[in-house]
Structure formats: C-alpha cells, structure tokens
Amino acid sequence: MTRKKVYLILLAALLAGMTALMSAATVRIWQEGSARKAANPLEAVYTPERVEGAILRLSPLLFAVIGMTAAGLVLGIRDEKSARPVPSPEAERNLLAARLETPGKEIREERKKRQILRWVRRAVFALCMIPIAVYCADRGHFPESDLEAMLASLVLHTMPWAAAGLAVLLIGSVLEEKSIRREIEMLRARLKAKSGGQSAAAESPSPARSPGSPAMDGRPAAAGKTGRGTAAVRAALLLAAALLIALGVLNGSLNDVLMKAINICSECIGLG
C-alpha cells in the first residue's frame, strides 16, 4: 500500500469520524435543550456558548482534518481516479447493440425485465411518497406553539418513508446496472458468433483496449451523460422538494416564515 493511499484512507476516516461526532453533538444539544425547556420554558437553552463548547470538544479532530488537508494540498496528494471519466455501461451497451441488426430473444427478454423493474421501482417510490404527502397536507401536524415537537414529529413520520423510497431507487439502480451488464455479455457473445469465432475484445469498446483507442478517448462524451439511476434519484429528490414546498405554501407555513423574517429584520437587526 502506497503512502498516498494511506493518506487518503486516513483523511476519509477522519472526515467520517468528525461528521459522526458533530451529528451526535447536535442531537445531544437538542435533547438537553428540550429537557431544559420543558422544566423552565423561559430559560435560554440554545445559546452560542453551548455550541461553542461542543465545537471546542471536537477542535483537536477538526484541526487534524484541516492540517491533513493542507498538507495534501501542499504536497499535491489527490485521488487520481476522481479525474477519470466514469465508465458508462449503458453507453457501451448502446455501441454494441448498434452493431447488431436484430437482437436475440434472450436480449429482448432481458430488456423487458429491465423495463418492468424500472416501472416497479417508480411505483414503489410513489407509494412511499403518499404517506409523506398525506402527513404534510394536514395542517394540524404543524402547530405554531412548539416548533421542536413539530420538527421531531415531522422527522419521525416522514424520514422512514423517504429513506425507504430512496433505498428502493438505489436498489433498483443497482439491479438495472447488473441487467445492462448481462446484456453486454450477450451482445458480445452474439458479435463473436457473427464474426465467425474471431475475438470480440478488439472490436468491442472494452476497457482493456489501448488508451489512444476511440473506446477510451471517445468515452467522456458518453460518460458525461448521467446514468438513468442517478437521474432518477435526482428527479425524485427534486419532485419531493417541490411537493414539500407546495404543501408548505398550502398549509400556511409561507406566511409564518414571512412574518418571522419581518420580525427579525424589524426587531432584531433594527431595519425600519
């Protein structure tokens, strides 16, 4: 194992540890603040001093991450694989399929299975979003008196469904990619049989070809396209965000946010 790889592993471990500890500190501050507020509603529990104390406890790890990052920048250490284009199995499949006039029966069946998988994945994700929409549409779930309890209830009732929907999209994307790779193997076998037993490795755009071949240098154009799985996740997140914004406007949260912003500007900052 090279020094560069050891450095990258240590930096990733430090970042993961710092993220976990900061998340735990945030939850601890919220729990302590909720308990103090329940005992004394007028006590200021979410103060800058408490946040500063939590950050100071994590300062050694934070300085270690900053120091290692600065050392990596000075020494020019970086992950060389991050600059390489991501191979696109779908683009490779399309290039191979273009060389066949008609796909075989097995290939058509594989494509049909993948289409069914795609629709099932979308349907299950839509079903997971229905309880979230129903919960957010009920204005009674958003009381104005207790913001912490409202947020805790919102997370409790929506996050499991959102996590389940994203897990379905992720699993579906992995299964779809495996299906595409199976189709690639079928296409290569048919091309090999069509060429009279000649090896299809030199003809198909495989990663084993020389760096100057069109399959490698011409791949960034195909690899630049976002895979269907990633595009589906992005589209689902955008739709979920738009849905939650629309529901927030419908249940009156927009007016509440506007009034709070006006009060902050006119009373706290001193505008007007």
pLDDT for the residue numbered 28: 82
pLDDT for the residue numbered 204: 44
The per-residue pLDDT for range 30-84, each reduced to its tens digit, is 777 777 777 777 766 666 777 778 888 888 888 888 888 888 878 777 666 666 6
Phi, psi of 223 (to 5 degrees): -70, -20
The per-residue pLDDT for range 203-222, each reduced to its tens digit, is 444 444 444 444 444 444 44
Rounded Cα–Cα distance for residues 10 and 8 (Å): 6
Answer yes or no: pTM beyond 0.75: no
pLDDT for the residue numbered 46: 65
The per-residue pLDDT for range 127-161, each reduced to its tens digit, is 999 998 898 888 787 776 666 677 778 888 888 89
Q: What share of the chain is helix, strand, coil (3-state, %, to 5)?
A: 75, 0, 25
The single residue listed with the structure tokens 């990619």 is 177
Which tops the pLDDT comparison, 1 or 25? 25
